[in-house]
Amino acid sequence: VKYRQELLEKRLMERKKVALQEVQEEEERERRLEALRKQVAVVVQSDPLRMMSDTMAWKARTDTEREDEFILQKPLFTLTTYNEQQITSDPRLRFELALREAGLHKTLYAKEMLPKISPQKPPRKDTESTVFKI
Q: Is residue 118 part of a domain?
A: yes
How much of the chain, in percent, has pLDDT values that exceed 90?
48
For residue 7, give the amino acid letter.
L
Half-sphere exposure in the Cβ direction for 45 (13 Å, CA): 3
Identify the pLDDT of residue 124. Answer: 86
Q: Which of 95, 101, 97 is nearest to 118 (CA)?
A: 95
- Three-class SS state of 53: coil
pLDDT tens readout for residues 37-75:
999 988 888 889 988 998 888 887 777 665 555 566 667
**Residue partners of 99: CB distance under 8 A and separation at least 6:** 105, 107, 110
Half-sphere exposure in the Cβ direction for 29 (13 Å, CA): 6
Q: Is residue 64 part of a domain?
A: no
**Residue partners of 104: CB distance under 8 A and separation at least 6:** 110
Identify the pLDDT of residue 67. Answer: 58
Q: Is residue 2 part of a domain?
A: yes
Q: Is residue 79 part of a domain?
A: no
Identify the pLDDT of residue 132. Answer: 78
Q: Is residue 76 part of a domain?
A: no
Identify the pLDDT of residue 134. Answer: 67
- As a whole number of angstroms, the distance between CA 13 and CA 19 comes to 10
- Count of helix runs (H) and strand runs (E) in the chain: 7, 0
Identify the pLDDT of residue 72. Answer: 64
- Three-class SS state of 131: coil
Domain coverage including residue 19: 1-41
Q: Is residue 24 part of a domain?
A: yes
Q: Give pTM, 2 decimals.
A: 0.37
Cβ atoms 39, 26 nearer than 8 A: no
Q: Is residue 53 part of a domain?
A: no
Q: What is the mean pLDDT of the chain?
A: 87
**Which residues of the chain register pLDDT less than 70?**
64-74, 134
